[in-house]
Structure 1
Amino acid sequence: MTNRRQFLGFAAMCLASFPALADSAGDLSGSATVLGRLPPDLNGIFYRNGPGRYALGGERYHHLFDGDGFAQRWQIADGKVSHIGRYVATQKFEEESKAGRFLYPAFGTYVGRKGVKNNDTINVANTNLLPFNGGLYALWEGGSATEMDPQTLATRGIKTWRKDLKAMPFSAHPKMDPEGGLWNFGNMPGADQLLIYRLNQRGEVTRTAMIPVPQLNMVHDFVVSGRHLIFLLAPYDMRPGPERSLGESLYWEGDKRPLRAVVVAKDTLTLRQVFELPARSVFHLGNAYEDGACTRLDAVLHDGDALVKTALEVRGQIRPVSAYGSNTVQITLDYASGQAREARLFGVSEFPRVAPQVVSARHRKLLVLGASGRELILDSVNLIDTDSGKVDGYAFGAGWEVEEHVLVPRRGARSETDGYVVGVAQDKHHGQTVLTVFDAHNIKAGPMALARLPYRAPLCFHGNFLAT
């Protein structure tokens, strides 16, 4: 029983977190009841996105990453909070809704009823929601960004940043550049190629590069420092086959290959160096910065195959799995020695974030979710001092499941904690989705305010706060 509980731990925000509406094509709209007091200077929109529909026509997906995107918009203004949620009307979502059944393959579930023309045929737009240059984009790492209306969340359609980049992968984890614009990448599993993008603040592609990387498979996130782009590559082997999804084609090779840190130079967009670390898997990274002749970066590393941890079912059966662990670590890449060192910062955790004003620069605070109970459900919000190792944290406790939180600086903020921590949590006791607001300088005091919706909304993976 212990192994099964740990198997469900990271994916605890899976089936149990989704109300019945998550498998229907219904919009959401409502006002939240605010308990406590929202800070008067906290005004803005918290955009969120995650998988919604997992079942259609009597069939159910097998993996947490498969569901069609459900975008959410939390408006905070004048001490009040309102919420809307809508499915992203991708080609896949519209065609399958009309047909009343799944037609195309998903990440972890093979469906082959209709042919796939390109990456955007199967784009589920279910991972992040990015406000950028006055627009709003639902992101999924396997294909194009999908543009949405920032006010209504109506789907406008596929965003092609440049004609020759049509339908190319555009990851769900772009990094804003302090000089304006953003960096992003596209991963092409099986082709051993990383596509690098640099967009200016007007959304124009100013630089691209195709970088060959041997044995390149799943890459979900990256970090950008002052001089480098850094990718962590877990030891998966691609073994495609008939009636096999992408997720089912990735085989764990941790007993044969290491975890690799691939460093790309920003000035030339060429491979600079590759470091090796003990084999583990990884979804999310925090931030990176230069420290003399080294680069330091934060990451959440999982023991063993984390894709198994996020599986829901395989042909109706729970997939067996041994005990797992995860840790937030700071990795130091020493270019002179070619060695990578790591220091543990926190235990079982996920979803690392830093304050937006320190992205790619020296940071001293790292925000992560943690698990305070035995069942490893993410239920706590923690701000780590990366210099001292001290943690300022708050645990919601049993019956709560916490989603990604973000740091929101005050205007003119003078430090990384001069502002607020804003996020979303699922209160299973009352069947409500709740917006949470903390004072970033005092997380342990608990939420300054909780804004409770009168319903449960689907889980979101990632999002961003846009101050107004």
Structure 2
Amino acid sequence: MSSRRQFISLAALGLVSAPALADSETQRRFHAALERDPRLSVYADTVGELSGEAAIGGSLPSDLNGVFYRNGPGRFELGGERYHHWFDGDGFAQRWHIAGGKVSHRGRFVATQKFTEESRAGQFLFPAFGTAINRRGVKSNDSVNTANTNLLPFNGAVYALWEGGSATELDPVTLATRGVKAWRPDLKAMPFSAHPKLDPDGGLWNFGNAPGGDQLAIYRLNAAGEVTRMAMVPVPQLNMVHDFVVSARHLIFLLPPYDMQPGAGSLAESMRWAGGDRPLRAVVIAKDTLALRQVFELPARSVFHLGNAFEDGACTRLDAVLHEGDVLPDPGLPMHGEMRGLRENRSNTVQITLDYATGTAREARLFGVSEFPRVAPQVVSARHRKLVVLGAAGGTDLILSTVNLIDTDSGKADSYSFGPGWQVEEHVLVPRRGARSEADGYLVGAAQDTRRGQTVLTVFDAHNIAAGPRALARLSYRAPVCFHGNFLAA
């Protein structure tokens, strides 16, 4: 119990010692730049709830029925001040309902403790990932929980997830906030990451991490949402870890080389890139013991998102999007109105093979400029041959405009480009009932038409992405860009 309490307290390291640095100058610069560049609209502030019916272009498949849940940051400005980093915004949950050839949309803010107290005060009060603020004390991880990263339908409920705090339960239909979810009384306020992995039996695996804590919390929940296994795994020099993958026998984490310097400002500012001295580590935890099995080293790179993992004889293979150098500052640039001068994208989607006998890791490039890898839900933790990624035809990290379905055996990609004026969000594979292959179904996602200021639901036939969207469900308004979400079939 004491180690868990210590683990919880580490979430506030580096967040509470700096003065308030959210400022009106950032807000002024952004709005001046927005008047010149409509691409910045995807980083604009949102106020209040959204709801409406979408205008359908094309033909929605008759067998595509369900709810596409999405989540991302929506509030960036309050009291005349603006956050410095895209990751700071308060969570704005979204629900796309698809039924009978029609699409409706609803969006509302997650009423976390942070969001509620700051709304009442009319100003930002708590530290954020990339903005140092110290107007009110941090009592626990959930004091600063923005619930802004993923929306997970699970066991009849829906949960808004974040990096470093509890899940927040929402009403599956209205998206009204029901409250913080403690999976077990002694796990209250423990970090519960935004990237859980569902198991074929309906349960899930997840982890928690507090930067600088040198421990990973590992959770196994059954289909009823009960914690059946939990462990604290020591991992030296553990800092940034956003995602992981699960194979039949292992949990695998890729750890980029960052050092933690508490008191340097915001959490983002305290994460110092150490790639010249240390490698990217692949940390393998055995499922049966929840103990560290092996650590592999690769050339130093940053990583946010992984695809899937599976066992291949005496090896494990996994997909990841790897970025050269430190990428943490990049999503902060548009918050200041800077779309020019972004560094060239140096990311690649790769498949990594971990060879336990030799202790070596090798990688094969699958795709260039990319992010947001996903596989079909029925193959998570098993052998897969199709991988969805977004691409950036313009050559920058922050303007993703292509959708790509990669054949991981041949390396060929079935691709579609939305072209200039679009920013594409994460897409997910939705299998047909009784699907016989990973491409037997649909690719569903969202995209921002920045020229018209509208958000659009996109539907592709998964076996022919190059043909373009089979249907576009266009809202009459712009909804906030989302990071992640999941499709719940009717």
Q: Which whole-Å CA distance do the structure 2 matches of 1:165 and 1:319 have between them?
A: 44
Aligned match of 2:92 in 70, 91, 104? 70
Matching residue's letter, 1:225: S
Matching residue's letter, 2:282: A
SS class of match (2:118): helix
Tell me the residue number matched to 2:114: 92
Q: Which whole-Å CA distance do the structure 1 matches of 2:305 and 2:179 have between them?
A: 27
Matched, 1:42 2:42: no
Matched, 1:249 2:270: yes
Matched, 1:355 2:376: yes
Distance 1:458 1:313, change over 3 A: closer
**Total equivalences in the alignment:** 454
Q: CA deviation at 1:16?
A: 3.0
Provide, for residues 320-373 of structure 1, a one-character-per-residue CA deviation record: whole Å limited to 9, x for no partner. Answer: 875441000000000000000000000000000000000000000000000123
Q: CA deviation at 1:317?
A: 8.7
Q: Which whole-Å CA distance do the structure 1 matches of 2:107 and 2:257 have between them?
A: 37
Say whether the 8 Å CA contact 2:402–2:417 is kept in structure 1.
Answer: yes
Tell me the residue number matched to 2:42: 17
Matched, 1:33 2:55: yes
Q: Which whole-Å CA distance do the structure 2 matches of 1:323 and 1:390 have between them?
A: 24
Q: Which whole-Å CA distance do the structure 1 matches of 2:232 and 2:393 have between them?
A: 42
Matching residue's letter, 1:274: V
Q: Which whole-Å CA distance do the structure 1 matches of 2:203 and 2:140 have between them?
A: 27
Tell me the residue number matched to 1:388: 410
Say whether the 8 Å CA contact 1:373–1:397 is kept in structure 2.
Answer: no
Matched, 1:214 2:236: yes
Say whether the 8 Å CA contact 1:33–1:452 is kept in structure 2.
Answer: yes
Matching residue's letter, 1:289: F
Tell me the residue number matched to 1:296: 317
Say whether the 8 Å CA contact 2:375–2:386 is kept in structure 1.
Answer: yes
Distance 1:375 1:161, change over 3 A: closer
Aligned match of 2:131 in 98, 109, 114? 109
Say whether the 8 Å CA contact 1:13–1:459 is kept in structure 2.
Answer: no
Matched, 1:56 2:73: no
Q: Which whole-Å CA distance do the structure 2 matches of 1:359 and 1:35 have between them?
A: 32
Aligned match of 2:364 in 343, 347, 352? 343
Matching residue's letter, 2:203: G
Provide, for residues 84-134 of structure 1, a one-character-per-residue CA deviation record: whole Å limited to 9, x for no partner. Answer: 000000000000011000000001111000000000011000000000000
Provide, for residues 267-293 of structure 1, a one-character-per-residue CA deviation record: whole Å limited to 9, x for no partner. Answer: 000000000000000000000000000
SS class of match (1:306): coil
Aligned match of 2:485 in 460, 463, 466? 463
Matching residue's letter, 1:448: R
Matched, 1:311 2:344: no
TM (norm. structure 1) is 0.94
Distance 1:425 1:162, change over 3 A: same
Matching residue's letter, 1:17: V
Say whether the 8 Å CA contact 1:424–1:434 is kept in structure 2.
Answer: yes
Aligned match of 1:147 in 164, 169, 174? 169
Q: CA deviation at 1:312?
A: 3.1
- Tell me the C-alpha RMSD between the 2 structures: 1.8
Q: Which whole-Å CA distance do the structure 2 matches of 1:316 and 1:215 have between them?
A: 34
Say whether the 8 Å CA contact 2:38–2:451 is kept in structure 1.
Answer: no
Tell me the residue number matched to 1:332: 353
Say whether the 8 Å CA contact 2:72–2:148 is kept in structure 1.
Answer: yes
Q: CA deviation at 1:314?
A: 9.2
Q: Which whole-Å CA distance do the structure 2 matches of 1:315 and 1:40 have between them?
A: 44
Q: CA deviation at 1:310?
A: 1.7
Tell me the residue number matched to 1:418: 440
User: Identity of paired residues, percent?
Assistant: 76
Say whether the 8 Å CA contact 1:18–1:457 is kept in structure 2.
Answer: no
Q: Which whole-Å CA distance do the structure 2 matches of 1:282 and 1:172 have between them?
A: 15
Matched, 1:83 2:105: yes
Q: Which whole-Å CA distance do the structure 2 matches of 1:79 and 1:134 have between them?
A: 24
Unaligned runs of 5+ residues in structure 2 are: 1-36
Tell me the residue number matched to 2:282: 261
Tell me the residue number matched to 1:441: 463
Aligned match of 1:129 in 125, 132, 151? 151
Q: CA deviation at 1:77?
A: 0.2
Q: Which whole-Å CA distance do the structure 2 matches of 1:81 and 1:408 have between them?
A: 16
Matching residue's letter, 1:399: G
Q: CA deviation at 1:188?
A: 1.5
SS class of match (1:65): helix
Matching residue's letter, 1:422: V
Distance 1:305 1:390, change over 3 A: same
SS class of match (2:186): helix
Distance 1:342 1:398, change over 3 A: same
Distance 1:85 1:388, change over 3 A: same
Q: Which whole-Å CA distance do the structure 1 matches of 2:260 and 2:344 have between them?
A: 24
Say whether the 8 Å CA contact 2:71–2:93 is kept in structure 1.
Answer: yes
Matched, 1:161 2:189: no
Say whether the 8 Å CA contact 2:145–2:164 is kept in structure 1.
Answer: yes
Say whether the 8 Å CA contact 1:13–1:401 is kept in structure 2.
Answer: no
Q: Which whole-Å CA distance do the structure 1 matches of 2:97 and 2:127 have between them?
A: 34
Mean alpha-carbon deviation: is it higher for 315-324 or for 372-381?
315-324
Q: Which whole-Å CA distance do the structure 2 matches of 1:466 and 1:457 have between them?
A: 20
Tell me the residue number matched to 1:379: 401
Matched, 1:171 2:189: no
